[in-house]
Amino acid sequence: MTINGVFNGNVIPYCEAQGLAKVFQAYADYCLNESIMDGGIGFNENSGYVYLALDNGVCVCSMLGRDVEYLITNFENGEETFFDTYDEAIASEIK
């Protein structure tokens, strides 16, 4: 399993490690049978989010170890919408 993005060498900082733990726990709790995109685990150094991108279009993410958010990106206009729950994200018409 590869984590995309740049961390400080081979070390995952504390907040990002906490975020990854929360993202994987949310995956286990709410979307366990969903496929993870190839290369869909990573860290975006521009936004500070760690993420787990699913093939169904939902991205499970956490910034600096905060609570998990569920992101849907409209690929027609690039607009990103965050949801508090997986069910809200999966039910959205944005995808």
| 18 Cβ contact list (under 8 Å, min separation 6) | 62, 65
pLDDT tens digits along 24-42: 999 999 999 999 999 899 9
Q: In Å, what is the CA distance from 54 to each residue of 4, 8, 59? A: 14, 26, 6
Is 60 exceeded by the pLDDT of residue 95? no
Q: What integer is the mean pLDDT of 14-22? A: 95
Q: How confident is residue 86, by pLDDT bands cut at 50, 70 and 90?
A: very high
Is 70 exceeded by the pLDDT of residue 51? yes
Cα–Cα distance, 94 to 73 (Å, whole number):
7
Pick 65 or 93 by higher pLDDT. 65
